[in-house]
Amino acid sequence: MMMISVWIFSKFMRILFGLIYSILLINTSFAFIYPDPDWPISRPEYKGLDPEKINKVLSIIRNGPYPIHSLLIVYKGFLVLEYYSQPYQVSSLHPIYSCTKSVLSALTGITLHEGLIKDIDQSIFEYFTDKKEYFEHPMKKIISIRNLLTMTSGLEWHRNLNSFNFSNYNRLNFVLSLLCAETPGTRFNYNNDSTHILSTIIHRVSINDNLDFAYQKLFYPIGVSNIIWIKDSQGITMGDSGIYMMSRDMAKFGYLYLRKGKWKNNQIIPEQWIKGSSARQVDGYPYGFLFWINSFGGYRAQGRSGQYIFILPQSDMVVVFTAGMKDRDLMVPVDLVSLYILPSIK
C-alpha cells in the first residue's frame, strides 16, 4: 500500500513539475537568461560547442592577415567567447558604421508602435512640408518610409558621395535635392543618404535628440548607457553611420532581436517589427528593414570594415565582430560564422 502511495506521489510530482516548466517556458522572463547588467560567462565546451572549431576561428584571427578587433559569441544567453586584439578591450567604443542603420530600424519600429509614425507606407513628403521646393518632381512625393527602410527610394546615389564633408553644410537639404532616378519601390540601390532622411523623420516626430530618444526607448532598458552618435551640422544624428559602441553592448542589441524584441518583462521593440526586419522585403535581394538576411539562416547588422551583429535564432546565438578590414575581406566574418561557429554546435 505504501509503495502505491509513493508511486502516486512520484507521478503527481512529475506532472506538477512538468506544468511548472511549461509555465516558465511561456513566461520568457524566466525561460531566457538576460545580462543583469553584465553577461553571464561560460566556456564553449560547457555549453555544448565544439572547442576545436572555436579554437580554429581564434587561430585564423590571430595568425591570419585579418585585422579583427573583437569577437563575441553569445550562446543560449551566455557569453561563451570574448576575444580582443590589442589595443582594443572590453571598454573600447568602436565605430559600428552601417550597423547604425539597424539601430535606426529599431527606432523606426518603436516610433511606429507609439503612434509617432502612422504607417511606413506614408510619403516622406508629409514630414517635410516645410521643404516643398525639394518635392517638385512628382516621383519624389511617392517615396515612402518603407522605401527608405528597404533601399528602394529611387534617389540617385553613388558611393563617391561618401567623400563629402557633411559636417560643414546641411546634409538633409543635399539629400532631398538628389534626383529621383527611377520610380520608388522598383529597384534595390544601397543608399546611405536615404537613411539620413529617416533619421531626420525620427528626430522630428520624437521632438527629441535621436540619441536621447534611443537611450530612453531602446538602450537604457537593455542596460546600455555608453554610446556616441555623431551628428550633422543641423544637430541630427547620422542615419547611415556614426554610432560608437562597446562590443558587449552590440551583443545586447543583437540579443534583444534574438528574443523577438523582448527584454525580461518588457517588449522594447514590437515582435511584428522584428519579423518584418528579418524577412526579405525586396525581390532578388537578401534585405529586410535595414538588416541583411543570411544565406545560412538568421540575419545581421553589417557595417563597413567588418562590423557585424549576427542574429541566429535557429541556433539561439548572437555573434559580434568589430574589425578594420579592407573591402576585399569584408565577408571573412560571414565565412567564419558559417564554416566554423555554427558547425561547432553539437
Q: What is the pLDDT of residue 21?
A: 42
Query: All 3 cell numbers of residue 312?
Result: 541566429
CATH number of 34-92+246-346, picked from 2.40.50.140, 3.40.710.10, 2.40.30.10, 3.20.19.10: 3.40.710.10
- DSSP summary character for residue 290: S
Range of weakest confidence among 92-106, 162-176, 243-257, 322-336: 162-176
Backbone angles phi, psi at 245, to 5 degrees: -140, 160
User: Is the pLDDT confidence value at 17 over 50?
Assistant: no
On the question of pLDDT at 313 being above 80, the answer is yes
Dihedral (CA of 161, 162, 163, 164) sign:
positive
Provide DSSP, 126-160.
Answer: GG-GGGGGGG-SGGGGG-BHHHHHTT---B---GG
What pLDDT shows up at residue 36? 86
- Whole-Å CA distances, 185 to 142, 145, 285: 9, 11, 13
Residues 317-328, mean pLDDT to the nearest whole number: 96
Q: Indicate the DSSP class of residue 238.
A: P
Res. 106: pLDDT tops 60: yes
pLDDT band at 62; cut points 50, 70, 90: very high
Contact predicate 145/175, CB 8 Å: no
Whether pLDDT at 167 is above 90: no
pTM: 0.89
Widest pairwise Cα distance in the chain: 91
Assess contact for 260 and 32: CB atoms under 8 A: no
Angstrom distance (rounded) from CA 275 to CA 280: 10
pLDDT digits (tens, 9 = 90+) for 69-84: 999 999 999 999 999 9
Using CA atoms, how far residue 343 sits from 60, 290, 307, in Å, is 16, 27, 22
Supply the DSSP symbol for 297.
S
Q: How confident is the model at residue 346 (pLDDT cuts 50, 70, 90)?
A: confident
Residue 188 DSSP code = -
Average pLDDT over residues 117-125: 95
Burial class (CB in 10 A: 0-12, 13-18, 19+), 270: middle
Percent of the chain beyond pLDDT 90? 79
Please give the pLDDT value at position 112.
96
Q: For the chain, what are the domain ranges? A: 2-31, 34-92+246-346
**Listed residue (204, 184, 218) closest to 105, CA to CA:** 218
Q: How many residues does the chain have?
A: 346
